[in-house]
Amino acid sequence: MANKRPLKVFRTSVGFEDAYIAAPSQKAALAAWGAKGNLFARGAAEVVTDPALAKAALERPGEVIRVPRGTTAEHLAAAGGGKSPSACGPKPRKAGHDDPPTKPAPRPSRARLDRAQDQLSTMQSDLGAIEKELADQIDGLKEELAALKKHNAGELAKLQRDVEKEERHYRQALASWREALPD
């Protein structure tokens, strides 16, 4: 049987057995099992990815391989086999006597979740305060820098004028000196 599509191995439950088949598609597997509905959509069938489980089905593609899910002894033990009928199943109730309702399991504790959320909130709050403090410091430093630049701009301009004045005096003195030199 030459298939154009690669074979996949599928599995479904049939009573106390698992039914495996190597087929090219889910539709082909459903047909081989004789299923009346889509077992895959209901979660009653699945693709097998374990190579050990898929080996037998891949050796005989298209053939349904049935594998028991336990021994007969395990099945009988699970079903209560070997016990007297009174030991199997629920005890008959007396009229008017209801069993006390079973107590539900306690609700899971939120303590760890609450602690984690508290730690997150505390960290966010602390970081927010630190960021605000640093932003305020940055704003203060920017204002201080602007004031310093304004103050220094006047000082720098005055010093620049002094340099230019002294340079003019120097050049005049240098020119007078050159004129006084003997030829």
pTM of the model: 0.41
Cα–Cα distance between 125 and 132 in angstroms, integer?
11
| Greater pLDDT, 16 or 145 | 145
Residue 89 has pLDDT above 80, yes or no: no
β-strand partners of 165 = none
| CB-count burial class (<10 Å; 0-12, 13-18, 19+) for 11 | buried
Amino acid identity of residue 43, one-letter, is G
> For residue 93, how far is the Cα from the chain centroid?
51
In 3D space, the residue among 13, 8, 49 whose CA is nearest the CA of residue 27 turns out to be 8
In 3D space, the residue among 36, 57, 38 whose CA is nearest the CA of residue 48 turns out to be 57
| Greater pLDDT, 35 or 86 | 35
Average pLDDT over residues 8-24: 90
Residue 78 has pLDDT above 80, yes or no: no
pLDDT of residue 31: 92
SS3 89: coil
Residue 157 has pLDDT above 70, yes or no: yes
Which pLDDT band holds residue 81 (cuts at 50, 70, 90)? low
Q: What percent of the chain has pLDDT over 70?
A: 86
Domain boundaries, the chain: 8-79, 133-183
Residue 126 has pLDDT above 60, yes or no: yes
What DSSP character marks residue 109? P
